[in-house]
A = this chain, B = another copy of it.
Amino acid sequence: MTTISIREVGPRDGLQNEAPVPAAAKVELIDALSATGVRRIEAVSFVHPKAIPQMADADEVWAKIARDPDVRYSALVPNVRGAERALAAGFTEVEVVVSASDTHNRKNINRSTEESLAELPALIELLHAGGASAELIIATSFGCPYEGDVDPGRVAGIVERAIGMGVDKVSFGDTTGMATPRRVRDVLTRVARERPLLCHFHNTRGTGLANILTALELGVTQFDASVGGLGGCPYAPGATGNVATEEVVHMLADMGYETGIDLDRLVEAAELAQRIVGRELPSGVLRAGPRYRTIA
């Protein structure tokens, strides 16, 4: 049985795209997620509170959660300042972001992709010196909301350069849900199979699980997902965010993959997430229940 590693990103990528919620609610959600059997949780990001007020309480949240020794918690950082805060807080797994699309990178941080890549070695060195691993998330890997299609060769080139710079893992971010099975194949077949790769799909246009299926066929075993499908898309108000963790686990479990996650507990965590944000979340497995829950 193949083991698939799921990273739960609802507390960060999900809640970052929802109206702000209290730190106590985030702590409750992260603790509920830690109890599902998931082995990795992206807990917070260390970003400027003016840029992303939803994450202003990152230190407080991180201080208050019950750290499960079986769970690896990670933080996302946008720059050296964020990396220093993550290290000071004691994180040992840190993610940094560069957009494959120049326009998206400029809109995000007012730099070209090339300029961001030039800063990457110092960031990696800082993280490694501080005892943390460094993962590079390549945003807009499967399409850019400004530029449209993104050249898969450009994405593959960034992978090779980042590996050369010493990153420990590369993640393909489907930032605005533009991936389809064809785009996934186009990118993944250009990257060497032995690379430590992770796919991060949004379900903005319904293709989330189809993309995961394609990535699985191409050997990817690590995926991001967000409990309840928490989150959204800053470019399309009302749009769906990350693929829902319970939809991913539900499909994988029925296909014979092992994730270590208790689906019933995960659905309970999704119910909690829904109460916390106070809106109906888009997860089908949350609404309808897993397929094994038959009518008596």
Q: Cβ of A183 and Cβ of B254 under 8 Å apart?
A: yes
Best-surrounded residue of A143, A148, A285, A294 (most CB of chain B within 10 A): A294
Partner-contacting stretch, out of A8-16, A38-46, A174-182, A192-200: A174-182
Across-interface contacts of A243 in B (CB, < 8 A): 206
- A289 within 8 Å of B (CB atoms): yes
Partner of A209, one of B145, B207, B235: B207
Across-interface contacts of A284 in B (CB, < 8 A): 177, 203-206, 239-240
14 example contacts (A-B, Cβ-Cβ < 8 A) are as follows A178-B291, A180-B291, A182-B254, A205-B251, A206-B243, A206-B247, A206-B250, A206-B251, A206-B283, A207-B247, A207-B251, A238-B280, A240-B288, A282-B282
Across-interface contacts of A176 in B (CB, < 8 A): 288
Write the chain B residue with the least CB distance to A208: B206
- A212 within 8 Å of B (CB atoms): yes
Which residues 215-265 of A have a CB within 8 angstroms of B? 233, 235-236, 238-240, 243-244, 247, 250-251, 254-256
State which size class the interface on A falls in.
Answer: 35 or more
Partner of A206, one of B148, B181, B205, B244: B244
Report how many copies the assembly holds. Answer: 2
- What's the Cα separation between A280 and B238 when bound, in Å? 10
Binding site for B on A (CB under 8 A): 143-148, 176-178, 180-183, 203-210, 212-214, 233, 235-236, 238-240, 243-244, 247, 250-251, 254-256, 280, 282-285, 287-292, 294-295
- What's the Cα separation between A292 and B283 when bound, in Å? 25
Best-surrounded residue of A178, A206, A250, A294 (most CB of chain B within 10 A): A206
